[in-house]
Amino acid sequence: MALSFSISHFLGLSLHVVILALFVPFLTISFVAIAVCTWLSRRSRLLPLENASGMIPLASNDIAELTKVKHDLESLMKRSDAAGEQEEDSSREKRNGGSDAESAASTVSRSGDTVPVAVEGQGNIGWGRWYTLKELEIATAGFSEENIIGKGGHGIVYRGVVDDGLVVAVKNLLNNKGQAEREFKVEVEAIGKVRHKNLVGLLGCCAEGSQRMLVYEYMDNGNLEQWLHRNIRPTSSLSWEIRMKITVGTARGLAYLHEGLEPKVVHRDVKSSNILLDRKWNPKVSDFGLAKLLGSEATYVTTRVMGTFGYVSPEYASTGMLNEGSDVYSFGVLVMELITGRTPVDYSRPAGETNLVKWFKGLVANQRLEEIVDPLMTVPPHARALKRVALVCLRCVDMDACKRPKMGQIVHMLEADDFPFRSVGQRLDRVKEIPTIPEEPRRLPRFHTPSNLGRVPEVER
């Protein structure tokens, strides 16, 4: 009986009365809490609406920054549009004989992209400088004929003096069916940042409207073609030592293009008129308008055949497949030109002597080396020196492109310690870029060369 009372009663009250007394306050407190939360939530949603018409909107710092950037961008676009309109107005005035004021900015089209051209006062571009058209007009005295130092199929070269007193060569590219734009792009991409003592330096450029110009360092001794083929004196100023200095320097420059850069650069137009000279007969390879870039994994690139007749390798002329071997062939023809003083193709000569390469090969094979020497040289070369250089030429113009040496290997062969054209006091600086070591000696392929002409070292491929 006592146990039943303790379970059904608590403090003298029935158990259901106790439960109800506890549940009602808990339920009341829960309702109050829910109501307070609901009110606070509604209040927070109403705050933006209450301040919507106020002078200070409730915007976060991020939103404010984004708004500022948007306004700045819109202002920049408006200024750019205004500059474009100013350029159009200036060009229109120039065509109509009006004001010759400078355009504020111009752009260079590059395969659909546009690259801004720096305005005056902002001409530095890392490797060189953007020149304005007016600056180059002043430097060349209005592109006067008196300042013309060269003409070619791709443009006219002027001598000029820029505002800092530096003498430069300004190449005005001829815009034949977009050729100026293509050559401009190729030269800037290929050698804009390249610096080598045997490569002509690109100092800057200019692009305004349809005008495309390149500014190079000035070489004050002309080009090799002028000294070889336009000499009106009875003897040549190019001694054997000078010719070999030009040969080695040109080989160094091409070796750097092929083996010292990534991607490698195939010049595609190696010839005597593209070898510039200074007063000390140091050569510099120039004119990269036809150059092609070749990646490290690519063995060749297929392209439209370009170049100069007589210098183009036979496999490139027939297939359009281009690689460094094409430059090696052209270099071989160039060295033949240096030795003989003849042009690669000369229709004024007898039938068997029209083509320089074929004529040269025939004389070497028949041991008539004395007949290949330029008759305008006052002092003929040493017989052993002539043999060695002649055989290097034959290696370069091998009909099998795979058997031609690399340019770095050619530099090594020309600079070997036992190379006989060097005498005491006339040693050339040793090249440090391409330390190629030849392997065991081997006779030249495809030619029946007598044993007493010596052998040419076989070089690794």
Catalytic residues: 269
Question: How crowded is residue 221: how many other Cβ atoms within 10 Å of its Cβ?
Answer: 15
Angle (CA) 108 268 305, round 5°: 90
Burial of 311 (0-12, 13-18, 19+ CB in 10 A): buried
Q: Rounded distance, CA 63 to CA 47, Å?
A: 18
Q: Rounded distance, CA 382 to CA 36, Å?
A: 111
Q: Which residue type does 34 have?
A: I
Question: How crowded is residue 158: how many other Cβ atoms within 10 Å of its Cβ?
Answer: 24
Instruction: Decide the pairing of beta strands 129-130 and 202-208.
Output: parallel
Strand partners, 108: 115
Question: How crowded is residue 92: how many other Cβ atoms within 10 Å of its Cβ?
Answer: 10
